[in-house]
Amino acid sequence: MTETPARPNPVIALVAGEASGDLLGAALAERLRQQWPQARLVGVAGPGMQSAGVEAWWDIEQLAVMGLFEVVRHFRRLLALRNTLRDRLLELRPDVVVGIDAPDFNLGLEIQLRRAGLQTVHYVSPTVWAWRRRRVHKIARAADTVLCLFPFEPAFYEGHGVAAEYVGHPMADQIPPSTDPAAEKRSARSQLGLPAEPETVALLPGSRLSEVRLLARPMLEAAAQLSRKRPGIRFVAAMANAGAEACFRAALQESGGIEVACFRDRSRSVIGAADVVLCASGTATLETMLVNRPLVMAYRLARSTYLAARYLGIVRRQLFALPNILAGEELVPELIQQEASADRLAAAAERWLGDEAARASLHARFAGLHRELRCDAAGRAAEAVARQLG
C-alpha cells in the first residue's frame, strides 16, 4: 500500500534529458497524476511529459548531447543550465526530485539538491554494472533511491550499499506481446498508409543530432545496396524530432535517389511495419525487441571521442544492444564504430531477410524477454516515488 505524502498535492520535479527519458517520464507523470490529480509536476520535459501535465521549464533538447567532445563543446551552456535549474529547484523546494536518465547531467544536480535536504530519486540505473563502475559511489551520494529498469541491476547496487528497486520497463507494459507477426505487420503498414506486400526495412538513425549525422549515411548506403540486390524492397524511417528529421533528410538528398518514407513520432508503427530494422544503439533496440522484429544495431561516436574513450577505458568491447544484454548473449548483430559500415549493415540485414528459421527463433526469444520486463513499471515507479514522499 502506498504511503500518503506529507501534503496532499505534492510538488514533484522531473528532469529528463532525451527522447527515451521523455517516454519514461511521461508514463511516470501519468501515474503520479492518477494518484494526485492536483500535484504540480515541473522540470525539464519533452513533448510526452508535457502532454502528461509536466510544466516544462526547459525542453529536453537542451540536454540532448552525445559524445565526449560534443559534451565538452556544450559544457559551459549545460553547466549554466544546471546551475539555473538547481537554484530554481532550491527556491521551489519540491517534495521530491526525480532525475530521469541523463546521468552526466542529473547525478551532479541530485548531489547538490540532496545536500540541501531535498529528496532525490534517480530513475534508470546508469550502466555501472557494465563499465565505469566507480560511478556507483557518485550515485550513492546523489540518490536516496535508484529505480532500475532491468532485473539484474538491484543486486549490483546491494553489493555497494545503494538503495535500489527493480520496477521493470514501461515500454514493455505499453507494447502488447507479439502473437501474430504477419497480421501485426499488415496492421502497422496500414496505419502508415503503406501497401501490405513489399519487403520492408526500417531505418532508425537515433534521436540525437550527433547520432543521426554519423549513422544516416551508412544506413542510406546500406539501403541502396539492398535495393540493388532485392528489387522492389521498400524503406521507411522513424524520425524522433524535427532536428533529427532535418539532418536525415539532408543526408537523404545526397544519397543519390534512394527512396525512404519518413515518419516523425511513429517509431512503433515504423518498426512494426518492417521485416528488419537497422537502428542506433540504446532504447531503439529495446523498442524493436518489444515490437518483436529482427534488428541490426549500429553504434558510432565521433572518431576523436571514440579514441579518447578507448584510451580512458570508458568504452570496452562487450554486449551493447539491450536485447543482447538481457539475454546474456548476442541474439542480434552489433556493428560498432568502423564495423557500422554500409556493407556490413546491408549484409546483416540480408541475412535476416533470407533466413525464416532464424527469424522465428528470434521471435520466441524476444517474446520471453518481453514477459520478464512486463510488470507495471510506471505504477511501481510511482509507488517508489510515493515512498520518498511519505
Give the CATH number for residue 145. 3.40.50.2000
Q: Same structural domain for residues 276 and 216?
A: yes
What is the pLDDT at residue 66?
43
Task: Compute the radius of gyration of the chain from its Cα atoms.
Answer: 21
Judging by DSSP bridges, how do beta strands 54-59 and 96-100 pair with one another? unpaired
Q: Same structural domain for residues 277 and 324?
A: yes
What is the pLDDT at residue 73?
57
What is the pLDDT at residue 2?
43
Residue 22 included in any domain: yes
Q: Cβ of 180: how many Cβ atoms within 10 Å?
A: 9
Q: Same structural domain for residues 117 and 213?
A: no
Helices then strands, each counted (H, E), the chain: 18, 13
Residue 5 included in any domain: no
Confidence tier at 134 by pLDDT (50, 70, 90):
confident
Confidence tier at 60 by pLDDT (50, 70, 90):
confident
Q: Same structural domain for residues 361 and 384?
A: no
Q: Which helix (DSSP H) or strand (DSSP E) does residue 364 occupy?
A: helix 356-373
Q: 47: which 3 cell numbers?
A: 513533448
The boundaries of the domain holding residue 159 are 11-168+375-389
Contact 320, 332 (CB under 8 A): no
Q: What percent of the chain has pLDDT over 90?
A: 71
Contact 164, 125 (CB under 8 A): yes
Taking all residues of the chain, what is their mean pLDDT, rounded to a whole number? 89
Q: Is the pLDDT of residue 245 over 90?
A: yes
Q: Is the pLDDT of residue 67 over 50?
A: no
Q: Same structural domain for residues 276 and 235?
A: yes
Q: Same structural domain for residues 102 and 133?
A: yes
Confidence tier at 184 by pLDDT (50, 70, 90):
very high
Contact 181, 363 (CB under 8 A): yes
What is the pLDDT at residue 69?
38
What is the pLDDT at residue 129?
65
Stretch 1-12: mean pLDDT: 64
Which phi and psi angles does 11 have, rounded to 5°?
-105, 120
What are the E-state strand segments in 124-274?
145-148, 164-166, 200-204, 234-239, 261-264
Q: Same structural domain for residues 139 and 196?
A: no
Q: Same structural domain for residues 147 and 193?
A: no
Confidence tier at 389 by pLDDT (50, 70, 90):
confident
Stretch 141-170: mean pLDDT: 92
| Count of domains forming the chain | 2
SS3 of residue 96 by DSSP = strand
Q: Is the pLDDT of residue 266 over 90?
A: yes
Contact 167, 384 (CB under 8 A): yes
d(CA 46, CA 50): 6
Q: Of 118-132, 230-244, 269-283, 335-349, where does mean pLDDT reach its minimum? A: 118-132
d(CA 270, CA 200): 10
Q: Indicate the pTM of the whole model.
A: 0.76
Q: Is the pLDDT of residue 45 over 50?
A: yes
Q: Same structural domain for residues 341 and 383?
A: no
What is the pLDDT at residue 23?
87
Q: Same structural domain for residues 86 and 120?
A: yes
Q: Cβ of 257: how many Cβ atoms within 10 Å?
A: 8
Q: 317: which 3 cell numbers?
A: 568491447
Confidence tier at 207 by pLDDT (50, 70, 90):
confident
Q: Same structural domain for residues 319 and 354?
A: yes
Q: What percent of the chain has pLDDT over 70?
A: 89
Confidence tier at 216 by pLDDT (50, 70, 90):
very high
Q: Same structural domain for residues 145 and 20?
A: yes
Q: Of 131-135, 261-265, 309-313, where does mean pLDDT reach its minimum? A: 309-313
What is the pLDDT at residue 167?
95
d(CA 317, CA 310): 10
d(CA 129, CA 127): 5
Rounded to the nearest 5 percent, the helix, strand and coil shares of the chain are: 50, 15, 35
